């Protein structure tokens, strides 16, 4: 089938990242996809090679629709309100031909109970150029009664063939004083940690904890807001490395902007991953390594319930819940941030079983693209 996916980039490019992955996932399953996006600039580094059967279209105002035949499936990502001129020709095209259609309202990812309750529900269009048509809510999720998570058909094969040391060497990343190729896998090997974050309130406290830890840490910092936050702290706080890094326990490498494929590799290479937003959370879950999620903050604090629901689904132990509370600035006043972060360093081995179990559970469920194909087959 032919799919039209509409996406507006709000900030941080997460919306574009999810929609691009969805487009590629569908194309891998024999579909043809047009991705309409109002700011495609991030795709230059997210997906520099493009993808077969995926065409990126400029979502401008007004939308250039001359010569455009509407697709069989229309995906409205994250409530982006598709251009009315497209809805008009979509409605006209389907009615004139008596053609069945599928209009999907793809929602944000959440582990909250309403996702399962609302997944697949119809939403009749009562006004505007699409009056008389029906959308259907489609919720990604962590359970089998939702739409599932994005997962490429070849994900497990790629993971099985991944070589951490070779990848680090390809990125020209070298632990101080030792070539990457001879780093031991155990014992004195540094703890590898990826950092993809906004500006967490306790980032400075975390860097100090790493600098004073007995075990060495190699922090791989992603480009953009993460790198700017770390550099600002190192510049403004004289108590941080090298001053506090007396035992050279902490080494920091700053990464260039990574494609989606290389970002997956980063997560697979590390022992602990700090991620933010929606897309990187899903990628970190597939990595199967301990992770800390910085959820996108909302003014009405709706993200508090969303984070708790995720941790409940994960069956997170108390130490993991406390670490998430600290990283998301939700600690109660009785728990010092430094104590919570130091406890994190001693809990990684215990957390590993939690994330291994979560990954195995998710692998047994249908992925998002397959769920969409099955749903559309029933409604189309």
Q: Report the candidate in 160, 165, 157, 110 with the shortest Cα–Cα distance to residue 138.
A: 110
Pair of tokens at residue 117: 């309750």
Indicate the pairing of strand 134-138 with strand 122-124: antiparallel
State yes or no: is 370 an active-site residue: no
- Which of 15, 107, 152, 367 is an active site residue? 15
Report which DSSP code applies to 243.
Answer: S
How far apart CA 306 and CA 112 sit, in angstroms, is 6
- Which of 107, 278, 279, 367 is an active site residue? 278
Other residues' Cβ atoms within 10 Å of the Cβ of residue 159: 14
Other residues' Cβ atoms within 10 Å of the Cβ of residue 76: 20
Query: What does each C-alpha distance from 351 to 20, 39, 159, 180, 192 come to in angstroms?
Result: 31, 38, 20, 26, 16
Report which DSSP code applies to 15.
Answer: H
How far apart CA 136 and CA 114 sit, in angstroms, is 15
How far apart CA 29 and CA 263 sit, in angstroms, is 23
Helix (H) or strand (E) holding 273: strand 272-276
State yes or no: is 107 an active-site residue: no
Burial 248-264 (b: 16+ CB within 10 A, else e): ebbbbbebeebbbebbb
Name the H helices within the chain. 14-28, 43-46, 84-96, 114-118, 155-160, 164-170, 203-211, 225-236, 260-269, 279-287, 302-314, 318-327, 337-345, 348-363, 368-379
Catalytic residues: 15, 278
């Amino acid at each position: 089938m032919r799919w039209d996916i509409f996406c507006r980039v709000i900030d941080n490019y997460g919306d574009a990242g999810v929609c691009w992955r969805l487009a590629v996932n569908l194309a891998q399953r024999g579909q043809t996809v047009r991705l309409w996006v109002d700011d495609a600039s991030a795709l230059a580094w997210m997906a520099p090679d493009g993808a077969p059967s995926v065409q990126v279209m400029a979502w401008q105002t007004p939308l250039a629709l001359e010569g455009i035949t509407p697709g069989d499936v229309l995906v409205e990502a994250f409530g982006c309100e598709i251009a009315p001129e497209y809805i008009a020709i979509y409605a006209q095209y389907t009615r004139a031909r008596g053609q069945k259609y599928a209009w999907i309202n793809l929602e944000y990812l959440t582990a909250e109970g309403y996702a399962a309750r609302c997944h697949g529900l119809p939403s009749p269009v009562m006004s505007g150029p699409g009056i008389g048509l029906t959308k259907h809510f489609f919720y990604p999720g962590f359970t089998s009664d939702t739409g599932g998570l994005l997962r490429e058909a070849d994900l497990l094969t790629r993971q099985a063939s991944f070589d951490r040391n070779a990848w680090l060497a390809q990125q020209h990343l070298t632990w101080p004083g030792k070539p990457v190729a001879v780093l031991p896998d155990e014992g004195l090997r540094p703890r590898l940690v990826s950092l993809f974050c906004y500006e967490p309130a306790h980032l400075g406290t975390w860097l100090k904890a790493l600098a004073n830890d007995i075990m060495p840490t190699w922090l791989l910092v992603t480009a953009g807001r993460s790198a700017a936050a770390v550099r600002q702290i190192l510049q403004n706080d004289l108590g941080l490395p090298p001053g506090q890094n007396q035992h050279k326990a902490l080494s920091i490498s700053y990464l260039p902007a990574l494609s989606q494929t290389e970002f997956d590799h980063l997560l697979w290479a590390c022992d602990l991953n700090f991620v933010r937003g929606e897309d990187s959370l899903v990628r970190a879950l597939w990595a199967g390594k301990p992770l800390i999620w910085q959820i996108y903050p909302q003014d009405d604090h709706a993200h508090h319930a969303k984070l708790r629901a995720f941790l409940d689904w994960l069956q997170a132990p108390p130490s993991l819940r406390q670490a998430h509370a600290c990283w998301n600035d939700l600690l109660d006043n009785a728990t010092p941030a430094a104590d919570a972060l130091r406890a994190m360093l001693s809990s990684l081995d215990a957390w590993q079983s939690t994330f291994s179990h979560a990954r195995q559970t998710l692998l047994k469920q249908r992925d998002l693209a397959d769920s969409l194909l099955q749903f559309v087959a029933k409604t189309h």
